[in-house]
Amino acid sequence: MTTAHPGSRMPAYFSSGLASRTFSSSMEIDGGKVAFWTYEPVEAGPETRTILVIHGFRGDHHGLLRVADHLPEMRIIMPDLPGFGNSEAFTTGVHSVERYGSFITSFMAALGLGPDTVLLGHSFGSIIAAHFVAGNPGTVNPLILINPIAAPALEGPKGIMTRLAVLYYRLSARLPRPVGLALLRSPLIVRMMSETMAKTPDRDLRRFIHGQHHAYFSAFASRDSLLESFTASVSSHVAEVAGRLALPVLLIAGEKDEIAVLPDQRRLAALLPDGELHVIPGVGHLIHYETPEPAAAFIRSFLKDHPA
């Protein structure tokens, strides 16, 4: 967890009460260790729900911490997906959207999470969550997607940049291991990515975001698992299963998102049988870092409208 250091002039970006809600655990699923964190409610009540959070590509549970912090009445469970953070890679099979869906099934079963569980996915996590729900109706309710990947990554204006990224990950996987890892974990490349996605003019917040990316963006199990996960992230999207999402769905989009652009979000919302879209102005693909408070407010309101 990152907070301001003593004597630092950077604001603290987590509440003092978050640590007291935090419990870290691990378990073995299909032969591999899975690390996960539970954030218990400050005071459980009628509005308390259990929210299972699926993070994005190259992220881990740290990315959604600020959103969790703004939902103190909720019980929030955040695993590091296999292959990322403190979780080991899958011991069998590729790191595909379908395989991550099977992981959710096993993870929920191990924790005894029932159909009143709320499922939340961010970015790549939105693809995993949506496909899981489409293939396993009735297992969760409702569904929340933050910065959802609403359209094919290889099509449209962003297709060229996606193809360059594909080359980057393939090259990094094929180079000699030390060279490939150095390329993937290059501080310069991580900083360029972070600078591109951050939209806030607040210098302290930008510094915090860059620090988070430098600390956690390179915590992946192997080059092969990373390439497989990246391939999955650009080969699927939420819209292809939108019509099969027969439950309430909340979309939270960023006005300036250049990865999941707003026109695609509006088209996705129109495809959902029971969906609603909220757009946060002035933010891009980092809602979870830059605007966690309005995101949490939308989540809270949505869950009140769709009680367990």
Interval 90-106: pLDDT, tens: 999 999 999 999 999 99
DSSP letter for 237, please: -
Q: Rounded to whole angstroms, how far apart are CA atoms 280 and 246? A: 25
Quick one: pLDDT band at residue 203, thresholds 50, 70, 90? very high
Check pLDDT > 90 for residue 6. Answer: no
- Ranking 6-15, 125-134, 235-244, 266-275 by mean pLDDT, the lowest is 6-15
**Could you read off the pLDDT of 101-143 as tens digits, one per residue?**
999 999 999 999 999 999 999 999 999 999 999 999 999 999 9
Predicted confidence at residue 59, as pLDDT, reads 94
Mean pLDDT confidence for 39-66: 96
Report pTM.
Answer: 0.94
Alpha carbons 151 and 71: distance in angstroms, whole number: 29
Query: Which residue type, as a one-letter code, is found at position 175?
Result: L
- Say which residues have a Cβ less than 8 Å from residue 150's Cβ, sequence separation at least 6: 237, 238, 239, 260, 264, 265, 267, 268
Number of C-alpha atoms within 13 angstroms, CB side, residue 295?
29
Handedness of CA 77, 81, 86, 91 (dihedral sign): positive
What is the CB neighbour count within 10 angstroms for residue 44?
A: 11
Q: What percent of the chain has pLDDT over 70?
A: 95
What pLDDT does 8 receive? 41
Instruction: Please name the residues in contact with 42: beta carbons below 8 A apart, sequence gap of 6 or more.
Output: 17, 21, 72, 73
> Reading across the β-sheet that carries 118-122, which strands appear in turn?
22-29, 32-39, 75-79, 50-54, 118-122, 143-146, 249-254, 275-280
The vertex-181 CA angle with 122 and 86, nearest 5°, equals 45
User: Radius of gyration of the chain from Cα atoms?
Assistant: 18
Which segment of 56-60, 120-124, 160-164, 218-222 scores lowest on mean pLDDT?
160-164
pLDDT for the residue numbered 9: 53
Q: What pLDDT is attached to residue 90?
A: 97
Q: How many CA atoms within 13 Å lie on the side-chain side of 73? A: 12
pLDDT digits over 19-43, tens only?
Answer: 999 999 999 999 999 999 999 999 9
State residue 281's pLDDT score: 98
43 contacts: CB under 8 Å, gap ≥ 6: 73
